[in-house]
A and B are shown apart, each in its own frame.
Chain A
Amino acid sequence: MTQQALEVERRSATGTLPAPAPATKVAKLIDISKCIGCKACQTACMEWNDLRDEIGHNAGVYDNPRDLTDQSWTVMRFSEVELEAGKLEWLIRKDGCMHCADPGCLKACPAPGAIVQYSNGIVDFNHEHCIGCGYCISGCPFNIPRLSKKDNKASKCTLCSDRVAVGQQPACVKTCPTKAITFGTKDDMIKQAEGRITDLKSRGYTNAGLYDPKGVGGTHVMYVLQHADKPEAYHGLPRDPGISPMVSVWKGVTKPILSAVLGLAVFGALVHYVTVGPKAEHEEK
């Protein structure tokens, strides 16, 4: 969580915020066709963010650790798939926060300022204000936030907001040896992805495409997929993610309407008291 150099555009559980100056949107582009699964990004993330996960057990697959945790904000997901008969493919997806333009975590969060969205698009958690309720987990369409077992605060990838604030690229980007991960303005990253997609198509990946799902307003972490028609093949990447209607109803119309109903009930009681008045016994002496 940072920092003065970044302006806050949205803040959890806060209805009134000054409008920030318009800022250039940033994005991280992960080109899955270039990823070799070396996990250097996982290590760089641990180093920069000072995270140390518990040493786990090998479950017979390359995924290590097995899942995201409050100490592992990014995890390589290895999928062995046979999309065409006889053609085995090893799809390796760097999993982590997608930094949605319309973040479900922020929408669900009840604690003012525990989740913010900067004007450059980065979605960040602020432990100081986090109350540990886990609502962000139910708000997230990508199953990303994790609660710490130690202090019950929620954590996830910050897109290295503290590095970006001072003009640096995220740690995972900096370390990636094949340049599968790149960082820049969102426009530039889309352009770069287009070049990669053209290249992949010319080499037989006719369904190559960009993953920037519109259901969450687009994301500030995007993937180049060889098989953009089958995102599920990449360890269950959702085809059309969006904030659950349950969460939208809960945090949308429900809040003002139900609050108004309660206020009106109290007011109604007052009106009844001053118009009809109390009920007394008739023969009371």
Chain B
Amino acid sequence: MPQLIQRYTAPERANHWVVAVSFILLTLSGLALFQPEFFVLSYVLGGGTWSRILHPFIGVLLALSFGRSALRYWNDNKITEADRQWMKRIFDVIRNRDQGLPEIGKYNIGQKYLFWTWVVTILLLFVSGVVMWQPYFTPYFTVGVVRVAVLVHAFSAVVAILGLIVHVYSGVLWVRGSLRAMTQGTVTAAWAKEHHPAWYRSVGKGAK
């Protein structure tokens, strides 16, 4: 048995999958309403009208669950000097030439940029989404504000979905051994030493 280190607790994992499932449902139903060629995706939520009804409520669920994660991981995502050094070798990282990278902590700068991208875009999506929410909120705004909101919603959604593609690819396919952190909650000591050496030294001591 490889040595295992706890990375995420059960409540953290549960919350992550609430974010993940709502994010995916929002992506599919949102694309359906954004681009007519994707309208068939509206059947994921039971058709166009049901997509229109459910999408905003799922959006609130995402905002709440992501907001909880954002607060919990806020301090872990402050960008440090080691991160900046690491960033200079981003093209080596992409090509899997990881030897001699600066020692980074629980998250690398790519993960941190992704975190802040989502903090900003999900906030924009939430605010513009409320403005677009028929029939409850839109009548309280002028048509000029609604027109800005739909555009902001579309652009920030695409940025957020690009983040999702990067996140899923990195976590599931690219960096082997990452997914188990969000399914079982643990990673191997080798994984931690390889990808997050500073974090490994701070928590690895108590590993079972």
* A residues at B contact (CB < 8 Å): 13-15, 110-112, 129, 131-135, 137-138, 143, 147, 149, 152, 244, 246-247, 249-250, 254-255, 258-259, 261-262, 265-266, 269, 272-273, 276-285
Per-residue A-contact encoding for B189-208, CB less than 8 Å = 1, 0 else: 01101110000000000000
Known contacts A149-B135, A278-B173, A131 near B52 by CB under 8 Å:
yes
CB of B37 within 8 A of CB of A15, answer yes
Q: Given that A250-B151, A278-B176 are known contacts, is A284 also in contact with B161, CB under 8 Å in the complex?
A: no
Q: Mark B120-157, 1 if CB is under 8 A from A, else 0.
A: 00000000000000110010000110111011001100
Tell me whether B165 is interfacial, beta carbon within 8 Å: yes
Q: Is B75 an interface residue (CB 8 A)?
A: no
- A284 engages B2 (CB within 8 Å): yes
> Judging by beta carbons under 8 Å apart, are B94 and A272 in contact?
yes
Is the CB–CB distance between A278 and B48 below 8 Å?
A: no
Chain A residue at smallest Cβ distance from B149: A138
Contacts A246-B151, A250-B154; A262 near B162 (Cβ below 8 A): yes
Chain A nearest Cβ from B53, distance in angstroms: 8
Total A-B Cβ pairs within 8 A: 133
> Among residues 72 to 111 in chain B, which have CB atoms less than 8 Å away from a CB atom of chain A?
94-96, 98
Number of interface residues of B (CB under 8 A): 50
Are the C-beta atoms of B173 and A273 separated by less than 8 Å?
A: yes
Query: Is B39 within 8 A of A111, CB to CB?
Result: yes
Main SS of the interface on chain A? Answer: loop
Q: Give CA–CA (A132, B155) in the complex, Å.
A: 22
Question: Which A residues are CB-close (under 8 A) to B169?
Answer: 269, 272-273
Please state if A279 and B176 are interface contacts (CB–CB under 8 Å): yes
Q: Are B162 and A265 in contact, CB atoms less than 8 angstroms apart?
A: yes
Within 8 A of A (CB), among B37-82: 37-39, 42, 47-49, 51-53
Given contacts A254-B155, A266-B165, A278-B173, contact A133 B94 (CB under 8 A): no
The reply to whether the CB of B24 lies closer than 8 angstroms to some CB of chain A is no
Assess whether A246 is in contact with B147, with CB atoms less than 8 Å apart: yes
Nearest chain A residue, comparing its CB with the CB of B143: A138
A259-B37, A276-B96 are known contacts. Are A283 and B190 too (CB-CB below 8 A)?
A: yes
Select from chain B the residue with minimum beta-carbon distance to A149. B135
Query: Are A255 and B35 closer than 8 Å at their CB atoms?
Result: yes
**Complex Cα gap A65–B198 (Å):** 70
In angstroms, Cα B35 to Cα A14, docked, is 10
| Residues of chain B contacted by A112 (CB below 8 angstroms) | 36, 39
List A contacts of B53 (CB < 8 A). Answer: 132
New contact pairs (5) apart from A138-B150, A244-B144, A255-B34, CB-CB < 8 Å: A247-B150, A258-B154, A279-B96, A281-B190, A284-B190
Q: Lowest 5 CB-CB distances: which A-B pairs, in order?
A: A13-B36, A131-B48, A246-B147, A134-B134, A269-B169
Query: Which has the most chain B C-beta neighbours within 10 Å: A111, A112, A277?
Result: A111
Distance in Å from the Cβ of B106 to the closest Cβ of chain A?
Answer: 17
- Kindly report which residue of chain B lies nearest to residue A249, judged by CB atoms: B151
Interchain CB contact (< 8 A) of A273 among B42, B147, B161, B174? B174
Between-chain CB contacts (< 8 Å), 8 pairs? A137-B138, A152-B135, A250-B154, A278-B173, A278-B174, A278-B176, A283-B194, A284-B194
Residues of chain B within 8 A of A280, CB atoms compared: 176-177
Residue of B nearest to A244 (CB): B147
Min Cβ gap B43→A in Å is: 12
Specify which chain B residues have a CB less than 8 angstroms from the CB of A143 in the assembled complex. 143
A253 shortest CB reach to chain B, Å: 11
Q: Which residues of A contact B181 (CB under 8 A)?
A: none
**Bound Cα distance from A132 to B138, whole angstroms:** 12
Task: Check B158 for interface membership: any CB of A closer than 8 A.
Answer: yes
A258 to B162, CA, bound (A): 10
